[in-house]
Amino acid sequence: MIFGDFAKAVGQLTDPRFRRVFWLGIALTFALLVMVYATVLWIVQGLSPDSVTVLNGREVTWIGDLLSAGSLVLMIFLSIFLMVPVASAITSLFLEDVAQAVEERHYPGLPPAPRLPWSDALRDTASFLAVLIVGNLVAIVAYVMLPIGAPFIFYALNGYLLGREYFQIAAMRREGREGAKALRQRHTGTIWVAGCLMALPLTIPLVNLLIPILGAATFTHLYHRLRRRTPV
Protein backbone atom coordinates (compact mmCIF):
# COMPACT_ATOMS: atom_id res chain seq x y z
CA MET A 1 0.00 0.00 0.00
CA ILE A 2 2.91 2.36 0.68
CA PHE A 3 4.05 1.83 -2.92
CA GLY A 4 0.56 2.75 -4.05
CA ASP A 5 0.76 6.00 -2.10
CA PHE A 6 4.12 6.73 -3.71
CA ALA A 7 2.80 5.93 -7.19
CA LYS A 8 -0.04 8.41 -6.72
CA ALA A 9 2.47 11.05 -5.62
CA VAL A 10 4.64 10.46 -8.70
CA GLY A 11 1.58 10.65 -10.92
CA GLN A 12 0.88 14.18 -9.69
CA LEU A 13 4.38 15.63 -10.23
CA THR A 14 3.12 17.64 -13.21
CA ASP A 15 0.77 19.60 -10.93
CA PRO A 16 1.74 23.31 -11.16
CA ARG A 17 1.67 23.63 -7.36
CA PHE A 18 4.16 20.78 -7.08
CA ARG A 19 6.51 22.52 -9.52
CA ARG A 20 6.18 25.85 -7.74
CA VAL A 21 7.12 24.38 -4.37
CA PHE A 22 10.02 22.46 -5.94
CA TRP A 23 11.66 25.44 -7.64
CA LEU A 24 11.00 27.76 -4.73
CA GLY A 25 12.56 25.30 -2.31
CA ILE A 26 15.63 24.75 -4.51
CA ALA A 27 16.17 28.50 -4.99
CA LEU A 28 15.96 29.22 -1.27
CA THR A 29 18.23 26.27 -0.49
CA PHE A 30 20.98 27.46 -2.82
CA ALA A 31 20.62 31.00 -1.46
CA LEU A 32 21.05 29.70 2.09
CA LEU A 33 24.10 27.61 1.17
CA VAL A 34 25.69 30.62 -0.56
CA MET A 35 25.06 32.75 2.53
CA VAL A 36 26.60 30.10 4.77
CA TYR A 37 29.65 29.82 2.53
CA ALA A 38 30.04 33.62 2.41
CA THR A 39 29.92 33.73 6.22
CA VAL A 40 32.51 30.95 6.56
CA LEU A 41 34.75 32.64 3.98
CA TRP A 42 34.51 35.96 5.81
CA ILE A 43 35.43 34.31 9.13
CA VAL A 44 38.35 32.38 7.62
CA GLN A 45 39.74 35.45 5.88
CA GLY A 46 39.38 37.45 9.09
CA LEU A 47 41.35 34.87 11.08
CA SER A 48 44.06 34.20 8.48
CA PRO A 49 47.11 36.50 8.08
CA ASP A 50 46.86 39.02 5.26
CA SER A 51 50.45 38.45 4.20
CA VAL A 52 53.70 36.74 5.05
CA THR A 53 57.07 38.41 4.44
CA VAL A 54 59.92 36.17 3.25
CA LEU A 55 63.66 36.85 3.44
CA ASN A 56 63.93 38.72 0.17
CA GLY A 57 61.34 41.21 1.34
CA ARG A 58 58.53 40.03 -0.90
CA GLU A 59 55.01 39.74 0.54
CA VAL A 60 52.99 36.63 -0.27
CA THR A 61 49.30 36.19 0.40
CA TRP A 62 48.90 32.53 -0.54
CA ILE A 63 48.17 31.46 3.05
CA GLY A 64 44.93 33.42 3.16
CA ASP A 65 44.04 32.26 -0.36
CA LEU A 66 44.75 28.65 0.57
CA LEU A 67 42.57 28.85 3.65
CA SER A 68 39.79 30.39 1.61
CA ALA A 69 40.03 27.62 -1.00
CA GLY A 70 39.98 25.12 1.84
CA SER A 71 36.78 26.65 3.15
CA LEU A 72 35.22 26.24 -0.31
CA VAL A 73 36.20 22.56 -0.39
CA LEU A 74 34.72 22.16 3.09
CA MET A 75 31.42 23.74 2.06
CA ILE A 76 31.21 21.55 -1.07
CA PHE A 77 31.86 18.48 1.07
CA LEU A 78 29.26 19.45 3.66
CA SER A 79 26.71 20.37 1.00
CA ILE A 80 26.78 16.76 -0.24
CA PHE A 81 25.33 15.72 3.11
CA LEU A 82 23.34 18.85 3.94
CA MET A 83 21.80 19.83 0.59
CA VAL A 84 18.85 17.45 0.85
CA PRO A 85 18.21 18.02 4.59
CA VAL A 86 18.30 21.78 4.08
CA ALA A 87 16.08 21.52 1.01
CA SER A 88 13.67 19.32 2.92
CA ALA A 89 13.47 21.76 5.82
CA ILE A 90 13.03 24.86 3.67
CA THR A 91 10.53 23.17 1.38
CA SER A 92 8.53 22.08 4.42
CA LEU A 93 7.47 25.72 4.72
CA PHE A 94 5.40 25.22 1.57
CA LEU A 95 4.42 21.57 1.80
CA GLU A 96 0.93 22.47 2.94
CA ASP A 97 0.30 23.56 -0.66
CA VAL A 98 1.35 20.09 -1.82
CA ALA A 99 -0.96 18.40 0.68
CA GLN A 100 -3.82 20.63 -0.38
CA ALA A 101 -3.23 19.80 -4.05
CA VAL A 102 -3.27 16.08 -3.22
CA GLU A 103 -6.52 16.34 -1.26
CA GLU A 104 -8.26 18.39 -3.94
CA ARG A 105 -7.43 15.78 -6.57
CA HIS A 106 -7.80 12.51 -4.64
CA TYR A 107 -10.10 13.42 -1.71
CA PRO A 108 -12.48 16.05 -3.15
CA GLY A 109 -15.19 15.41 -0.57
CA LEU A 110 -13.14 16.69 2.37
CA PRO A 111 -13.93 20.06 3.92
CA PRO A 112 -11.22 22.74 3.58
CA ALA A 113 -8.41 22.35 6.12
CA PRO A 114 -7.40 25.44 8.11
CA ARG A 115 -3.97 26.71 7.12
CA LEU A 116 -1.20 26.58 9.69
CA PRO A 117 -0.19 30.09 10.88
CA TRP A 118 3.03 31.29 9.23
CA SER A 119 4.71 31.71 12.60
CA ASP A 120 4.01 28.08 13.51
CA ALA A 121 5.23 26.87 10.11
CA LEU A 122 8.43 28.88 10.50
CA ARG A 123 9.01 27.52 13.99
CA ASP A 124 8.44 23.94 12.87
CA THR A 125 10.75 24.43 9.90
CA ALA A 126 13.54 25.85 12.09
CA SER A 127 13.17 22.94 14.49
CA PHE A 128 13.17 20.40 11.67
CA LEU A 129 16.22 22.03 10.06
CA ALA A 130 18.16 21.91 13.33
CA VAL A 131 17.33 18.25 13.92
CA LEU A 132 18.22 17.30 10.33
CA ILE A 133 21.55 19.12 10.32
CA VAL A 134 22.64 17.88 13.75
CA GLY A 135 21.51 14.35 12.99
CA ASN A 136 23.33 14.19 9.66
CA LEU A 137 26.50 15.82 11.02
CA VAL A 138 26.60 13.26 13.83
CA ALA A 139 25.95 10.57 11.24
CA ILE A 140 29.08 11.64 9.32
CA VAL A 141 31.13 10.65 12.37
CA ALA A 142 29.28 7.34 12.52
CA TYR A 143 29.99 6.75 8.83
CA VAL A 144 33.73 7.14 9.47
CA MET A 145 33.71 4.94 12.57
CA LEU A 146 31.42 2.25 11.10
CA PRO A 147 31.90 2.38 7.31
CA ILE A 148 30.28 -1.03 6.81
CA GLY A 149 27.13 0.11 8.57
CA ALA A 150 27.07 3.56 6.92
CA PRO A 151 24.26 2.77 4.44
CA PHE A 152 22.04 1.33 7.19
CA ILE A 153 22.70 4.31 9.46
CA PHE A 154 21.96 6.75 6.63
CA TYR A 155 18.66 5.16 5.60
CA ALA A 156 17.49 4.45 9.14
CA LEU A 157 18.23 7.99 10.34
CA ASN A 158 16.86 9.88 7.37
CA GLY A 159 13.94 7.48 7.04
CA TYR A 160 12.93 8.19 10.61
CA LEU A 161 13.37 11.96 10.29
CA LEU A 162 11.58 12.20 6.93
CA GLY A 163 8.75 9.97 8.04
CA ARG A 164 8.29 11.83 11.30
CA GLU A 165 8.28 15.28 9.68
CA TYR A 166 6.15 14.57 6.62
CA PHE A 167 3.52 12.58 8.45
CA GLN A 168 3.31 15.32 11.08
CA ILE A 169 2.78 17.94 8.36
CA ALA A 170 0.13 15.88 6.59
CA ALA A 171 -1.76 14.92 9.76
CA MET A 172 -1.50 18.23 11.62
CA ARG A 173 -3.62 20.02 9.03
CA ARG A 174 -6.70 18.03 10.11
CA GLU A 175 -5.78 16.51 13.47
CA GLY A 176 -4.01 19.40 15.16
CA ARG A 177 -0.51 19.12 16.64
CA GLU A 178 -1.42 16.75 19.48
CA GLY A 179 -3.77 14.64 17.38
CA ALA A 180 -1.11 14.25 14.69
CA LYS A 181 1.47 13.25 17.29
CA ALA A 182 -0.85 10.64 18.79
CA LEU A 183 -1.66 9.17 15.38
CA ARG A 184 2.04 9.11 14.46
CA GLN A 185 2.96 7.29 17.66
CA ARG A 186 0.22 4.73 17.01
CA HIS A 187 1.69 3.89 13.59
CA THR A 188 5.40 4.46 14.21
CA GLY A 189 6.54 1.32 12.41
CA THR A 190 4.57 1.95 9.23
CA ILE A 191 5.66 5.58 9.12
CA TRP A 192 9.32 4.66 9.64
CA VAL A 193 9.17 2.10 6.80
CA ALA A 194 7.58 4.69 4.53
CA GLY A 195 10.27 7.19 5.53
CA CYS A 196 13.01 4.68 4.69
CA LEU A 197 11.49 4.17 1.25
CA MET A 198 11.57 7.95 0.82
CA ALA A 199 15.22 7.96 1.92
CA LEU A 200 16.31 5.44 -0.74
CA PRO A 201 16.44 8.01 -3.60
CA LEU A 202 18.45 10.43 -1.41
CA THR A 203 21.66 8.95 -2.84
CA ILE A 204 20.59 9.62 -6.46
CA PRO A 205 21.71 13.10 -7.61
CA LEU A 206 18.95 15.43 -8.81
CA VAL A 207 16.29 12.82 -8.07
CA ASN A 208 16.94 13.42 -4.36
CA LEU A 209 15.78 17.01 -4.73
CA LEU A 210 12.28 15.72 -5.52
CA ILE A 211 12.04 13.92 -2.18
CA PRO A 212 10.46 16.81 -0.24
CA ILE A 213 7.63 17.05 -2.79
CA LEU A 214 7.13 13.30 -3.17
CA GLY A 215 7.40 12.83 0.59
CA ALA A 216 4.69 15.38 1.34
CA ALA A 217 2.35 13.90 -1.27
CA THR A 218 3.02 10.29 -0.28
CA PHE A 219 2.49 10.93 3.39
CA THR A 220 -0.72 12.82 2.71
CA HIS A 221 -2.06 9.63 1.12
CA LEU A 222 -0.60 7.58 3.97
CA TYR A 223 -2.26 9.80 6.58
CA HIS A 224 -5.71 9.38 5.05
CA ARG A 225 -5.22 5.63 4.75
CA LEU A 226 -4.07 5.23 8.37
CA ARG A 227 -6.78 7.57 9.60
CA ARG A 228 -9.47 5.32 8.11
CA ARG A 229 -7.91 2.32 9.85
CA THR A 230 -7.64 4.00 13.24
CA PRO A 231 -10.66 3.70 15.54
CA VAL A 232 -11.98 6.96 16.89
pLDDT in tens, 153-202: 888 888 888 888 889 888 888 888 888 889 999 999 999 999 998 888 87
**pTM more than 0.85:** no
For residue 201, the 8-state DSSP code is G
What distance in Å separates the CA atoms of residue 38 and residue 133, rounded to the nearest whole number?
A: 19
Give the pLDDT confidence score for residue 19 in this predicted structure.
86
The residues of the chain scoring below 50 in pLDDT are: 51-56, 60, 62-63, 66
What's the total number of domains in the chain? 1
What distance in Å separates the CA atoms of residue 2 and residue 100, rounded to the nearest whole number?
A: 19
Q: Which domain holds residue 67?
A: 2-229
Cβ atoms of 89 and 129 closer than 8 Å: yes
What letter represents residue 196's amino acid? C
